[in-house]
Chains A and B, each alone.
Chain A
Amino acid sequence: MKNPTRQELYDFLDGVLNEERQKEIEAFISQDPSVKKEISVIKQLQSVLMSDAMIEHPSARFTAQTMKAILPSKQESALFAVLKNSANVFAMAMVLALIVITYTMIPISTNTSSSSIINQSFTSYENIYTEGMNFISIRTKEYIQPLKSLTKNGSGSFFVIGIAVFLAFGLFDELIGKKYFR
């Protein structure tokens, strides 16, 4: 019987030898104490190599970070991006304030019909500006009137306008902003 090589001992332990050689080596091991010891060392080594002590672990947040890399969070909307910027919020507030001032402060002509204003002849350049602003104010009120009637008092119309502006901006963001501005 040919003495086994160490490779054959590994193969013996892995169970990949043919049946005949497997039996031969088995007999050899039982006859030779040094080979028996060698087998014992290899078996114990294998047991350690298969144990959890050999396992390396990634950091605790590995799965979360990997999933974040795989599934990035949905892109924030352009509206949210605009609102995050305090300068933009300030600009929007100024525009709204301007609308409020225009609506409440500018004196209205006694004649509330816009068509009648167009027919008026301006007597001097000084009142062109005043009359023009009156015209804008009256026009604005004509458009706002149906909205104003939605609420018992006039202040509600600003709320409605605000919502309309918000929705229009959101629609713009959805249809155009995402496509062209990012």
Chain B
Amino acid sequence: MTNSDDNIIRKVISGEQRAFAELVERHKDRGMTVAVRMLKNHHDAEEALQDAFVRAFRALPSFQGKSSFATWFYRIVYNVCSTMLSKRGSEHFDSLDDQDEEIMVHEISSRDDTPDIQLESEEFHSLIKREIDGMEKDYAIMLTLFYLNNFGYDEIVEITGLPLGTVKNRLFRARTQLRNAVMKKIDVNNEAA
């Protein structure tokens, strides 16, 4: 039987501090993905992630379990990365969130000549990864939290501290941007064929 996050936390708080390594093992990859999406730099992301784990360890006694450990921890990761970005003087694109966009399906898929596509190929995997890497971090982070970390809207609101409307808007834009990039690539492939 595997230990749940809560069991490990209980162990750590009761003095078995080395048990925290299991939490690190469990969350390091997805935490790293969040940090890389935000900071766009592997080295900085690893540094931020380590900082987040250290902060989480120190704050563990104050963790009340109102939300899951994952939500609580990724909020720390998000805050550490945001602080790092503000030190860097990173640009923000919040103004884009104010634009309202309602695209009807008939406008976006007026063509029915699009061939059946298969995105499972390695080519598309790397295309999608490249597209996310190049995406503005406010959008890339939404895709990562929503799909890879499997968080719902409410949890993303808790992690980022953003209003629900902003979260939905950014996620929508991120999905649309990615979808358009993929469709463009398909068009290029079709023309070449």
Contacts and interface: CB of A to CB of B under 8 A. Distances in A.
B191 interface: no
Contact of B111 (A34, A53, A58): A34
A3 B20 contact: no
B90 to A, nearest CB: 19
24 contacts: A3-B105, A5-B103, A10-B171, A16-B153, A34-B111, A34-B112, A38-B108, A44-B117, A47-B119, A49-B148, A50-B147, A51-B125, A54-B33, A54-B128, A54-B147, A54-B148, A55-B32, A58-B28, A65-B50, A66-B21, A66-B24, A69-B50, A70-B20, A70-B54
A63 B25 CA distance: 6
Interface of B: 17-18, 20-21, 24-25, 28-30, 32-33, 35-36, 42, 45-46, 49-50, 53-54, 57, 102-106, 108-112, 114, 116-120, 124-125, 128-129, 132, 143-144, 147-148, 150, 153, 168, 171-172, 175-176, 178-179, 182-183
Contacts of A50: 147-148, 150
The A interface, classified by DSSP as helix, strand, loop or mixed, is: helix
A59 to B, nearest CB: 6
Contact of B182 (A45, A47, A70): A45
A99 to B, nearest CB: 45
Contacts of A59: 46
Contacts of A178: none
Interface of A: 3-7, 9-10, 16, 28, 32-35, 37-38, 40-42, 44-51, 53-59, 62-63, 65-67, 69-71
Nearest to A9: B105
A58 B134 CA distance: 20
A69 B18 CA distance: 12
A34 B128 CA distance: 22
A174 to B, nearest CB: 23
A16 B147 CA distance: 15
B69 to A, nearest CB: 16
Contact of A44 (B110, B114, B118): B118
B105 A69 contact: no
Given A6-B105, A33-B112, A50-B147, A56 B33 contact: yes
A41 B117 contact: yes
Given A5-B103, A6-B103, A70 B53 contact: yes
Given A56-B29, A57-B29, A62-B50, A4 B105 contact: yes
Nearest to B128: A48
